[in-house]
Structure 1
Amino acid sequence: MKDLSYYKEIIKEKLSKKRFEHSLRVAETALEMAKSRGLDEEQVHLAALLHDYAKDLPSDELLRIGRKKGIILYKAEEVQPDLLHGPVGAWLLKQELEITDEAVLQAIRYHTTGHYPMTELDKIIYLADLLEPGRTYEGIASLRAICAENIDKGLLFAFDSTLRYVLERKMLIHPLTVEARNWLLLQLHDNFNDE
């Protein structure tokens, strides 16, 4: 794998200034969250830095790549193409930058929808994207507080918040988010019963 500074320069050129700065903050947040979790810091840093690799692509380009490469698996992705920036980004990173670390690609692929079962890396990238210091939305203080206590409970709060947001706007719910939430809820329930 190339030095992280190489990837930083790539995304600096590829993304808007605002998106680039967001990516740097996500990387800082993810590294901080990963400290006590025994994760490979290089994987965490790379996945966080590159998570929005395809975010600035226009919807028609996301759809074109998604259709051509068989990446679109759900109707929600056709109707709301922004949901494709994770899966398309993972595919492009493999093709264009020759990223082959499947754990990194998976965390990028699912950083918007979640999936199950989620690895610790998947959880960190999903949450760091929502928690980075530049984010200011209703409920972020609660999410930060919960994540400081328990990452899994924070992830459940994040899924619930996402579902409320989508329902209020009459948007399609991505099936992977529902499956990820149900899987996590069962994990938390099982852990609670084991105590």
Structure 2
Amino acid sequence: MKIEEALEESKKVLTQKRYDHVERVTETAINLSEQYHGDHYRVGLAAALHDYAKDMDFSILKQWIVDHVDLPKDLLNYHHEVWHGPVGAKMMERFFMIHDDEVLNAIRYHTTGHKHMSLTEKIVFLADFIEPGRDFPAVHEARKIAEKDLDRACHFALENSIHFLISKKQSIYPDTFFAYNEFTDQLTY
């Protein structure tokens, strides 16, 4: 599947606003891929499909989690905002015969992050956080950091996501903590 085809597939199932976000994430991810020597195709494909399941009814996402033995059932204990990544990755396998773990994991973990993120995963995760349509206080700093250091930018994004979820009194999926802790242990400031 070409990146342009993936964008067209996303456009079929997303609202215009969400699709515009996906286009911006794809462009941002490709730019980051060029900067950090990522795999242009894998990054672009994952970015173009990362929110494929985002606008689907929660009952559909829940049913996918229940029905698929390889989707973690503990997802159901967390806010539905984290469901679309893992379910979307499963849908990519089923609907589009994508079996590239690099692409699937970038889709699966684009919201939560996780321990041992690949370059493709980091780029898609960060592109989703810093795309030009985002406007919140931390995003400006994240963009500056992203110009110089991908790992520090991911760490910053994870830290801010954790703070945001705590401020909203929402539970935080454990993979986010694992990713944050790993970056914290690896980076020296």
Q: TM-score range by the shorter chain?
A: over 0.9
1:83-135, CA deviations, whole angstroms, 9 ceiling, x for partnerless residues?
Answer: 11000000001001111111000010000000010111111000000111111
TM-score by length of 1: 0.92
1:72–1:78 Cα contact (<8 Å) kept: no
Percent identity (aligned): 35
Match of 1:62 in 2: 61
Instruction: Determine the C-alpha separation between the residues in 2 that align with 1:161 and 1:139.
Output: 7
Structure 1 unaligned regions, length at least 5: none
Give the TM-score taking structure 2 as reference length. Answer: 0.94
Alignment correspondent of 1:14: 13
> Shift of the alpha carbon at 1:30?
0.5
Give SS of 2:137's match: coil
- Note the 1:1-195 alignment, pairs <5 A: 2-70=1-69, 71-74=71-74, 77-189=76-188
Distance in 1 (CA, whole Å) between partners of 2:163 and 2:35 is 31
Structure 2: gaps spanning 5 or more residues: none
- In the alignment, the residues of structure 2 paired with residue 39 and residue 159 of structure 1 have an alpha-carbon distance, to the nearest angstrom, of 21
State how far apart, in whole Å, the 2-side matches of 1:21 and 1:133 are.
Answer: 11
Aligned-partner Cα distance in 2 for 1:32–1:126 = 13
Q: Aligned-pair distance for 1:23?
A: 0.6
Matched positions, count = 188
Larger Cα-atom Rg: 1
CA distance in 2, matches of 1:49, 1:133: 16
